Amino acid sequence: MEAMIGRPIDRIDGHLKVTGAARYAAEFRVPGVVHAVLVQSTIAAGSIAGFDLREAQGMPGVLAIITPDNAARLSHPANVPQAMVGPLLQNDDILFNGQHVGVVVAETLEQAQAAAAAVGVHYHRGEPSTSMDAMLGQAYKPKHFRNGQRPPDSNRGDPDGTFHSGAVKLDTTYVTPIEHHNPIEPHATIAAWNGGKLTVWTTTQGISGTQAALAGQFGIDKSDVRVLCPYLGAGFGCKGNTWPPATLAALAARTVKRPVKLVLTRAQMFTSNGYRPRTIQKLKLASDINGSLVSVRHDGFSSMSQPSLGEFCESVGLATEMLYACPNVGVTHRLVALNASLPTYMRAPGEASGVFALESAMDELAVGLKMDPIEFRLRNYAETDPHENKPFASKALRACYQQGAEAFGWEKRSAGPRSMRDGNILIGWGFATSTYPTNRMPSSAKARMDRDGSVVVQCGTQDIGTGTYTVMTQVASETLGVPMQRIRFELGDSDLPPAPVSGGSMTVASVAPSVLAVCRALVDKIKDLALADADAGWRGQSRDALRISDGLVIGADRRVPISALLERGNRSFVEAEAGTRPGAEKQKFSMHAFGAQFAEVRVDPDLGEIRVSRFVGAFDAGHILNAKTARSQLIGGITYGIGMALLEETLVDGETGRIVNSNVAEYLMPVNADVPDIQTIVVPNDDTNSNPLGAKGIGELPMVGVAAAIANAVYHATGVRVRKVPIRIEDVLTEV
């Protein structure tokens, strides 16, 4: 068998997806299913005074109208982070506009929609707090920063005392907006009870987490909840938690004693399942005259919901702690409570917004020093992690800088702003560093080979659209010596061996080691059968004397079909189980992926129109398991970053706390015309310090630094430093 890991194999689920055969949550056919529609608050603060249900109750097909007045009480599972109690119809408090205040269940979707529209809600109106800027003075420290794994603040050296000694100084503020994930597949759940057992088909990045959350909320055993999610139309973080709609679908199903389907509208996706919070980031950096950083302060504020709903903090300062070798660094994280729904992880949570600020600031300092921006980064290159005082598990960032710069043609850049033109058009070249942590969690897997040589490998992981099916099949194929077509990889079912949430770019690093281990265990079992087999004639030899390929056990002298071994052993299959977990590597090493982002923008000086015309990203993401799906991730991440830089922004009406662009017509995302030719470079690096596959994770890294690279390019083109995203025409027009 040839090597399979690393090859640019087409997605094995591609055909199923383009032909519509892949079933997404809302598409499962469950007999007797009825439909639920959410009723949402039209005020942002206060409480429910009462409902007027007379009209809705009499409408055709209506089976139930569930409100806080009659909803079953749910438990607040202690083991579920960010559990949202308020919006689960458990009390009358209104904490944000769009909060779920009722669920209407009817025979058809149209009947449920009509009745939901006829539900009258009376409120005691409160005064909503909607301005982050106005509330900044009341910012508070997060209590569960990074799930309580570390304090929200850190300090090394004396950043405040040394700032004034710098030759070039910067003291400024960067702002990033609320952004919504907008996966193509909206949230959807079908919930069905059978006695005390609950089955949900739901779109989730973590079937195990959803299983635990629902079991906790309904006070039943985890083994009585089955969560199924074979395919997702992406998630980007908004399907990482168990959000109220999934719970409310299960609650509704229990109420009407029928299977219930609940699918969110696009508008409901803006208030039901998190978003990237707005950030205000104060940066103070000082460099000596030679370009060595002497002091860095990064004080981050991120917008939050009301604290009773839970907590999420955009961890903007974490990259600042480790990216550059500066002896004096201070980082703080604060939250600002607003009448808004709960924010959550969104692709590269923390790093995407934090590195926009940090790498914009680094560019500003380089300009002040009259130093090439890459040279400035190299002067401050961290050979070891300066925050944790540990070696990096691996770090090929220098190679990213070099290879990216060469591919982009960086040496041809003229330094001054407004110094490069194409006719009338201003050309800008900008650069930024990217980084994202390498994460790993425990996972487990099963594998079985049947007598006909076909293999099933099972793991309760997810494929959020990134290629888990394909990559894991490659790992199994190479390890077992079985062609990919003979292997079925099963995931997305909580009855399968558990695996972690598909978040934090850690699916490959967490799951592939278990797939590798279980396939190796299966190989050993097959070899043991061969060694014990009288006819094979290998008794007394060691496993090492044998190898397995294409359905054969191969020894020095002969080959024996595995099917024959199983037949003689009177077995119809051979199977194995394995689990793997991270070792002590996080204690020994600082584990991160890295990249270098290069943007070219073209700015029309008359119109202020900004176009990204070229983009090069060079990445150290460790060992790449599939060159094609990896490239898709890199292009997707850079595209996501273009959206952050120039387009994406959720707008909230200050008076009502209502999101005014809760649709994909007015919440702008990059379309093909906004995305230039993107060149991606993968710097070879096999990081076996981090995990046996040498992979670092690739889902979030490529969007980090993109917004800064583009903002830096806009400065280079126009001479206008824009310290917020998205950068709009009007931000550059006045001075262009």
Positions marked active-site:
700
- Residue among 508, 561, 141 at smallest CA distance from 333: 141
Which two structure tokens, joined as six digits, stand for 663? 């649709």
Q: Are the C-beta atoms of residues 715 and 363 closer than 8 Å to each other?
A: yes
Identity of the residue, 152 or 237, whose beta carbon is nearer to ligand MOS in the bound complex? 237
CB of 503 to ligand MOS, least distance (A): 3
Distance of CA 259 to the CA centre of its chain: 30
Identity of the residue, 237 or 317, whose beta carbon is nearer to ligand MOS in the bound complex? 237
How far apart CA 235 and CA 206 sit, in angstroms, is 10
How far apart CA 304 and CA 341 sit, in angstroms, is 8
Q: Which residues pair with 444 in a beta bridge?
A: 579
Q: Are the C-beta atoms of residues 108 and 260 closer than 8 Å to each other?
A: no
Binding site for ligand MOS (CB under 6 A): 205, 235-237, 240, 345-347, 349, 503-504
Identity of the residue, 199 or 639, whose beta carbon is nearer to ligand MOS in the bound complex? 639
Q: Are the C-beta atoms of residues 460 and 207 closer than 8 Å to each other?
A: yes
Nearest residue to the partner ligand MOS, using Cβ: 237
CB of 699 to ligand MOS, least distance (A): 7
How far apart CA 135 and CA 158 sit, in angstroms, is 29
Identity of the residue, 300 or 343, whose beta carbon is nearer to ligand MOS in the bound complex? 343
**CB under 8 Å to 566, separation ≥6 — which residues?**
451, 529, 572, 573, 574
By CB atoms closer than 10 A (0-12, 13-18, 19+), residue 146 is middle
Q: Is the peptide bond before 68 cis (omega within 30 degrees of 0)?
A: no
**CB under 8 Å to 502, separation ≥6 — which residues?**
205, 206, 235, 461, 462, 463, 464, 466, 468
CB of 706 to ligand MOS, least distance (A): 15
φ, ψ of residue 588 to 5 degrees: the values are -85, -35
Q: Give how far Cα 678 sits from Cα of 262, 600, 632, Å.
A: 38, 11, 11
CB of 506 to ligand MOS, least distance (A): 8
Do β-strands 592-603 and 46-52 pair in parallel, antiparallel, or remain unpaired? unpaired
Please give the span between the terminal C-alpha atoms of the chain, in angstroms, as a whole number. Answer: 60
How many C-beta neighbours within 10 Å does residue 584 have? Answer: 7
Q: Are the C-beta atoms of residues 4 and 86 closer than 8 Å to each other?
A: no
CB of 502 to ligand MOS, least distance (A): 7
Q: CA angle, corner 342, sides to 341 and 346, nearest 5?
A: 120
